Amino acid sequence: GASVDIQGSWVAIGSPGRVGGGTSYRYDVANNGGLIGASSPYVASTAGTSVRIFNGGSNVLMGDPTSTNGGQGGQVWMSGINGYLQSTTANEYFGWRLALSNNNTVFVGAPNNATGGANAGRVYLSNYGGTGYQSNIQTISPPTPTANDQFGFAVASAGNRVVIGAPGHDSAGPNAGAV
């Protein structure tokens, strides 16, 4: 798998290179359950680049940063809910990385967003409302957006905290990176 996540006994596995545009799988380790596939029902090209499993293993978030379904800059599909979040900003790689906080808030990395400079990056935040995610309700931009920082290239969360990586940030030297 190109991306993996675990919650309890459930594992999510992303396979963006699978023929047909990529997919994700769920696997129940405790019961030696077979792979359960979750392909995106939308036009996809790299679905499964990022995955997060939630709701006790019932649902998988699957990032497809190069999808152009309804938008131009990527999408995140939610299995078991049949909903999605998408970007309307061309080529920003929305869905490159995903993080979940408290099982109901998703952070979506878009490292090629051009607000503040080409590939400066941005992170979007959405909340789960029981039947699917609301549209993007907040954006998190780098404090000093600079071209090629790629803010949102890595995203992680624990409790009510989120950490965002920007591997191209230059304040400590060329492409030294920052968190």
Q: What is the pLDDT of residues 112-133, one digit of tens each?
A: 999 999 999 999 998 876 666 6
Q: CA-CA-CA-CA torsion for 15, 19, 20, 25, nearest 10 degrees? A: -30
List of the chain residues with pLDDT < 70: 40-44, 69-71, 80-82, 129-136
Q: 130: closest CA among 80, 62, 178?
A: 80
Q: Is 73 exposed, middle or buried (0-12, 13-18, 19+ CB in 10 A)?
A: buried
Half-sphere exposure of 52 (CA within 13 A, CB side): 25
| pTM of the full structure | 0.90
Q: By the 8 A CB rule, do 77 and 60 touch?
A: no
